[in-house]
Every structure is written in C-alpha cells, then in structure tokens.
Structure 1
C-alpha cells in the first residue's frame, strides 16, 4: 500500500506543469510562444533567463524528491527511488493536467539521477556543458548527455536495477527529442542565444 501510494504521488507531483505556471505568473502562455514546450528551455528563451533557471530547478526537484526522499518516507530500499523517479518523469512528460502533453523530461531526469546516481549526473552534466558550449544547440547537448548517463551508469553503479532503469530513461529522453533529431539531421535546429527560437 505504501509503495502504491508513493508511486501515485510521484506521478501527480511530477505532472505539476511548473513551466506553464511560472510563465503564466509573468502573463505568458508558454504553450503559445517559442517552441510551445512547457519545459525550462522554452521558459528561458521566452520569459527570461532567471525564470528559466527557476523553472529548471523546480522541474529538477520533481525528480529528486521522489527518488531521494520518498524511499526514506516509506522506509524502503533505495532502489525504489528509481521507480518513484521514473514515474515522476512520466508525469512531467505526460501530465494528466495538460491532456498528457508535457515537457521532454531533461530537468526532471537530472533531478532523479542526482537522487540515485550522482556520479553519472556529474559526467552527464559535463558532456552537456561541453556540447552546449561547442554547438550552442540545447537539444543536441541534452541528447548526448542522456546517452552518456545511460552508458556510464553501467560502469559506476552496482545496482543492476538502477543501470537498467537509467538506460531506459536515456532512451525515453532521446525519443522525446525525436522532432529535434529530425531538425538536427536537416540542419534546421536552432542554436542557443539566437532570437525567435522555435525548438526546445
């Protein structure tokens, strides 16, 4: 019963559309601006840098709290953090509040990873930062970071459950970026820092 309750709570917590709420507090419907995505990147571009960073932190907490705190609340094995974190990411990407049209889960995934595999987060963030600095393409940096985490966790984490779950998560994040991948292949993906961005 405890596990079921925490799992359900993780979904509804993850489904909170912080990007939409933050943007609306500034008088902007983020779904009608930029890429139309409710994630932190679009908030960053449309509403402002500070609000984008704030949204990223809130979305990251949606992954961190279920993965790190929920197992302690339920007095459960730490591996359950993977379950709760994954469900929170699904909530973010497919929120019931917005007819299952959510963000791409990068920030929420980072929060979850910080709770269950901090070393992989460090490596993934380094790859993300280097790629962003070199390419100025957020989506490419996110895709490569997800791939790096999915591979690196097999070398630095003992729990096979965590390894399998994070590999699945990497595939999910990349799949959610499929439109960006098409634009990358066509050479039409927007670069960070340019005005009138149309992707996230």
Structure 2
C-alpha cells in the first residue's frame, strides 16, 4: 500500500524514520519529574521509564508515562505506514524504540524501552504484541520480577515474530538484542539473586 504523499519512496522512508525517532525522544517521566523539581535520572534507578516514575513520582505519573510511551510507539508505526507503507512502518518501530532508549534531546539517556516497544509492536501486529505481553505477565506472576518478564519476552520475541510477522523478524531480533542490553544491569542482579521482587500481598 502506497504512502499518502507523492514523494520518492526513499525520501518518504527516511522522513518517517526520523519522525519516529524523535517521537521516541518524548520522555513524559523526565518532563513530569522536572515539573516536580526533580531529576528522574538522578533518583530511584535513574531510568526514565514507568517503573521509576512510579517509584519517584507516584501512581498518576507512572500511568501517564506508561500511556504516552505506549502511544508514541504506536503512533510512530502509523506515521511510517501513512508516509511510506508497511515496510517503513516496521523500521519506524525500531526507530521509536531507539529514540526512547537513546534520545538525543535528553543527552541519550532514556528508558529501557519496554512500553514503547509494546506500542510499536502493537502498531505492527496486535496479535504479536498481545502474545509478548502475555509472556511478560505470566513471567512476572511466576517470578515476581518485572525485569525478568521483559528479559524472557525479549528472548522469545524473535521466535514469535518468525511465526506471526515474518517480515518483522530481523527488526524484531535487533529490538530484542537492544532490549537485553538495556536490561544488562537487571540481568546481572537476577543472576546474583539480588533483583527486587514485587509483593502481591495486601498491606
């Protein structure tokens, strides 16, 4: 399916990827923390994502961060599709993901990419996204570690992509590797038995 603009396919693809990257740069937790007189990069885990937003800023900020991070990934894919077609949309998923983790607007210090990856994959193939989400949820319930859910989902994602959205396979592999790299400190703590665990008991 052709894009909506009558420009060269290469130009349209490059434009869509650049837009997707800068959409990924949007950091709600960083902006909310700044409004509260805090620096999200210097508090809690130092990560500009939903979990640290919850820890540092509270539930409302965490929900806002989660919704915007998912939304920007989804929007980036749709922009790619409208400007240059399905293949560009898949590259836009990667661009938004990279833009979130290494945002040029915030000195290349972003989040770990879980929410934006979900939103981007949701834009590519909703079944693939929901299956990955199910893996995260089941893993978190079994281990009580959010990071473990992200790690297991990243490891299994190339297989899921091969089965459900084969055109996305190689891009999915790159995203999975970056996701594991972003969680390298968590993986180290998991291996040492030091990773924080959730408590499902009512206080």
TM-score under structure 2 length normalisation: 0.87
* 1:118 lines up with 2:126 in the alignment: yes
Shift in Å at residue 149 of structure 1? 2.4
Question: Which of 191, 194, 197 does residue 197 from structure 2 map onto?
Answer: 191
Shift in Å at residue 193 of structure 1? 4.7
* 1:172 lines up with 2:178 in the alignment: yes
8 Å CA contact retained: 1:14, 1:88: yes
Distance in 2 of aligned mates of 1:151 and 1:175: 19
Distance in 2 of aligned mates of 1:45 and 1:16: 20
SS in structure 2 of the partner of residue 191 of structure 1: coil
The aligned counterpart of 1:26 is 36
Question: Which of 182, 185, 192 does residue 188 from structure 2 map onto?
Answer: 182
Distance in 2 of aligned mates of 1:149 and 1:120: 9
SS in structure 1 of the partner of residue 153 of structure 2: helix
8 Å CA contact retained: 1:31, 1:37: yes
**Which stretches of structure 1, 4 residues or longer, exceed 6 Å deviation after superposition?**
none
Question: Which of 26, 41, 66 does residue 56 from structure 1 map onto?
Answer: 66
Shift in Å at residue 29 of structure 1? 1.9
SS in structure 2 of the partner of residue 133 of structure 1: helix
Q: Which has the larger radius of gyration?
A: 2
Distance in 2 of aligned mates of 1:168 and 1:184: 23
Which consecutive residues of structure 2, in runs of 5 or more, have no partner in the other structure? 1-10
Distance in 2 of aligned mates of 1:77 and 1:9: 14
Shift in Å at residue 141 of structure 1? 0.8
- Count of matched residue pairs: 190
Distance in 1 of aligned mates of 2:31 and 2:80: 24
Between stretches 35-44 and 142-151, larger displacement belongs to 142-151
Which consecutive residues of structure 1, in runs of 5 or more, have no partner in the other structure? 195-200
